[in-house]
Structure 1
Amino acid sequence: MSRAFVKEPDGLEAFDELPERLVSSNPNLVTEEGLAAIESEVARLSRAYAEAQGAGDRAALNVAARDLRYWNARLATAEFVPPPADNEEVRFGSRVTFERSDGRRQTYRIVGEDEADPAKGTLSYASPLARALLGKSVGDTARQGADEIEILSIA
C-alpha cells in the first residue's frame, strides 16, 4: 500500500493514544525507601498533570496522566517489607556481597522492582540473580547461569 493512503497521527494527535506502562505481575514488594520514592513520584506527577492542565498542553497532560495511572497503581499495590531482623540469610532488603568464579566481588541490595538499579547497587528481588541468592547464608554458593557465586557477607 502506498504511504500516501495511510493517515498517521501527527502533532498533538500522536499523544492521544499512549500505550499504558506495563505493570509487573509479581507482588509489588517495597522497602521503606521504595515506598517513599513511589509516593514522591505520585506527588511530582500530580503537580505535572495540574501544570499541563493549566497550560492546556495536551501532550504533557496525556503523558502525565498515563504515568500517574501507573504510579497510583504501584502505590495501591505496594507491600511494605520491613528490613530483615537479622543477617543470617539473604532476604528482601538484604545487602549481599558475593564473589563470582572469575574473582569479581559484587555487592547488591535486594529491593522491589521499581527501585532496582543495578548500576547503583540495587537488584530486583524478581531478577534471576536475586532469586539465586535469596535464602542463602554466608559461605553458601549459588548457580547464576554458567557462573557459580559464593556469598561473602550479608548486611
Structure 2
Amino acid sequence: MSVAFTKEESSETASETILPERVISAQPNLVTESGLKALEAELAVAREAYAAGNLIEDVNDKRRQTAGPARDIRYLVERIRTADLQPAPASNDIVAFGSTVRFEREDGRVQTFRIVGEDEADPKSGTVSWVSPLARVLLGKALGDLAMLGNEELEIQKIT
C-alpha cells in the first residue's frame, strides 16, 4: 500500500526517519590521537542518544528520535574501524600530518593551523584537513619555504 493511503502522520514520520547516510570520504582515514578519541567520544554520545530514543513508547516518536543517532553510529563505527592512527610528527623540520604551521600571507596576515584528519578538521578552531588545498601545499615544506595557494604565496614562519 502506498504511503498516500496511510495517515498523514505516518507519511511525515517516514520522511523524518529515512535519513541519507553520512558521506564517508574515499581518502585514507588518517587520524591524530586526539582525533581518534574524539570519534570514540562522539560514538558514545550517539549510542546514548539512540538508547534514550528507544525508551520512547510511541513508535513514530521513537523512529524520529533514533534515526539520527542510528545513522551517526553507522558512520562513526566505520570511521573508527578504518582509522589509521598517525604518530606525532618526528620533528619540526618539515610540515607533516599533525604539525601546527604558522605562515604569513602576501597581504601580511599571519595564520596558524594544525593539519589533522578529515573528521577533526575545524578551520574556525585552527585545524584543517590533510586533504584540504591549504594543507596539501604546506605538507613537506620547511621553515622559510614558500608555498603557492592558487596565486598567493605563503611563507612558513613556524612549525610545531
1:44-123 equivalences in 2 (<5 Å): 44-56=45-57, 57-123=62-128
RMSD after superposition: 1.5
Q: Deviations over 1:87-119 (max 9, x none)?
A: 010000000000001111000000000000001
Q: Residue deviations 1:57-102, cap 9 Å, x none?
A: 1111111111110111111111100111110100000000000011
TM-score by length of 1: 0.92
Please state if 1:154 is matched with 2:159.
yes
Alpha-carbon distance in structure 1 between the residues aligned to 2:120 and 2:103 = 21
Is residue 30–residue 112 contact of structure 1 (8 Å, CA) maintained in 2? yes
Cα distance in 2 between the residues matched to 1:16 and 1:50: 16
1:10-42 Cα shifts (integer Å, max 9, x gaps): 431112321101000011111111000000011
Q: Percent identity?
A: 52
**Match in the other structure for 2:25:** 24
Q: Distance in 1 between matches of 2:18 and 2:50?
A: 17
| In structure 1, distance between residues paired with 2:128 and 2:69 | 27
| Count of residues paired in the alignment | 150
2:93 counterpart letter in structure 1: E
**Alpha-carbon distance in 2 for matches of 1:63, 1:13:** 13
Equivalent residue, structure 2, for 1:42: 43
Alignment partner of 2:144 out of 99, 121, 139? 139
Q: Does 1:124 align with 2:125?
A: no
Structure 1, unpaired ranges of 5+: 1-5
Q: Aligned partners of 2:112 and 2:66: how far apart in 1?
A: 40
